[in-house]
Amino acid sequence: MNIAFFDTKEYDIPAFERYGKERGISFRFYETKLDADTAELARGFDGVCVFVNDNVSAEVVDKLSEMGVGTIALRCAGYNNVDVKHCFGKLRVVRVPAYSPYAVAEHTMALLLTSVRRIHKAYNRTREFNFSLNGLKGFDLHGKTVGVIGTGKIGSIFIDICKGFGMNILAYDKFPRADADFPYVSLDELFEKSDVISLHLPLFEDTYHLIGYDALKKLKKGVILLNTSRGALIDAEALLDGIKQRIIGGACLDVYEEESELFFEDLSGHIVEDDTLARLLSMPNVIVTSHQAFLTEEALSNIAETTVENLVLCRDGKPCPNELCYGCGSMDDCKKKRKERCF
């Protein structure tokens, strides 16, 4: 099975080559992202392997299908960049639902600690022999309330980590966990009572700009906002406004609404056109990492292994547990029909 691998970074290659060789899957690594202009590169391949910022629109799906490409293998959990419904009956779409939820949850806590203890400031200062403590005052996490929105795999681990810090937990989820040992509250109550808010839910139409101008009116003054999920869960303009109004006391972002042309690239010698991002980066209480939360040795290995196993099942024409539900309501294996969750 031959796979065109888009948006390749050097850290992707070793694990994919290793697992692919073991299971008879060969990869052609392209640096470019997949979109309507680059789809032609997939001609002659059985499948494509894509990441978070490849754009698999309906147009791309049609092009791939016309060329005889049969599988889209997402090497990530989120799939908001794929027109999954349009793939129904044309291509199979598989993903990696979990590769290391610990990696993302731990990175979220790393961001929170960096923010509240001003580590990013202290790091730069001491390198220049500036040992002054002025402006570095933080606050204890112990006894503070963290509002966790989305209590799936990553959100649940983040809750456990926060409990270790002695934080009070409030949670909101559209599908609350039956076995939860923390309280679920309404979104409004979470907004009003949380000192820290962390987002761990997917980007859907109903979660787009979950934190926007409306939410700003309800947030506790000084709240620290953490987003390691998907950028467009937060309206970046509203965030900027909230920071200027001193409603938001800190923002830690591993994802950004308009990240697709920016993140994962070295743009240090370029003029970046995105004024909102530039303004956010100029704020002393904003920390941005560029979609790095997943990036651990363990996660990269799991991503490659699961993706290769997904591809083997597709190649062999077998059902794949990591295939997405296309929301068509008509397949034998439709998750909705089984009263399970569907996108």
Q: How many residues bind ligand NAI (CB under 6 A)?
A: 28
The stretch among 14-22, 56-64, 143-151, 243-251 that binds ligand NAI (CB under 6 A) is: 143-151
Q: Which of 312, 299, 326, 317 is nearest to 77 (CA)?
A: 299
Q: How far is the CB of 313 from ligand NAI (least distance, A)?
A: 21
Interactions with ligand NAI, residue window 26-45 (CB under 6 A): none
The stretch among 12-20, 37-45, 115-123, 169-177 that binds ligand NAI (CB under 6 A) is: 169-177
Give helix 13-23 / helix 297-315 axis angle, nearest 10°: 30
The stretch among 11-19, 125-133, 137-145, 286-294 that binds ligand NAI (CB under 6 A) is: 286-294
x/- site string to ligand NAI, residues 320 to 339, per CB under 6 A? --------------------
Answer whether 232's CB lies under 8 Å from 260's CB: no
x/- site string to ligand NAI, residues 241 to 260, per CB under 6 A? -------------xx-----
- Tell me: does residue 152 bind ligand NAI (CB under 6 A): yes
Buried b (16+ CB within 10 A) or exposed e, 171-191: bbbeeeeeeeebebbeeeebb
Interactions with ligand NAI, residue window 182-221 (CB under 6 A): 200-202, 206-207
Q: How far is the CB of 310 from ligand NAI (least distance, A)?
A: 16
**Residue 40 three-state SS:** helix
Please give the Cα distance from 282 to 194 (Å, whole number).
25
Q: Which residue is nearest to ligand NAI (CB)?
A: 152
| Token pair of 82 as six digits | 């794929």
Give the torsion sign (CA, 97, 98, 101, 104): negative
- Tell me: does residue 98 bind ligand NAI (CB under 6 A): yes
Distances (CA, A) of 87 to 60, 65, 238, 282, 336: 10, 9, 34, 41, 17
- Tell me: does residue 175 bind ligand NAI (CB under 6 A): yes
- Residue from 93, 190, 238, 293 binding ligand NAI (CB under 6 A): 293
Is 309 tagged catalytic? no
Is 338 tagged catalytic? no
Please give the Cα distance from 65 to 136 (Å, whole number).
56
Amino acid at 78: G
Is 291 tagged catalytic? yes
Q: Is 39 or 232 the residue whose CB approaches ligand NAI more closely?
A: 232
Q: Is 153 or 193 the residue whose CB approaches ligand NAI more closely?
A: 153
Phi, psi of 9 (to 5 degrees): -120, 155
Amino acid at 9: K
Catalytic residue among 75, 92, 118, 230: 230
> What's the order of all strands across the beta sheet hosting 196-199?
168-172, 145-149, 196-199, 223-227, 248-253, 286-288
Q: How far is the CB of 249 from ligand NAI (least distance, A)?
A: 22
How far is Cα of residue 334 from the mean position of the Cα atoms in its chain?
Answer: 25
Catalytically active residues, by annotation: 230, 259, 291
Interface ranges with ligand NAI (CB under 6 A) = 77-78, 98, 101, 104, 149-155, 173-175, 200-202, 206-207, 228-230, 254-255, 291, 293-294
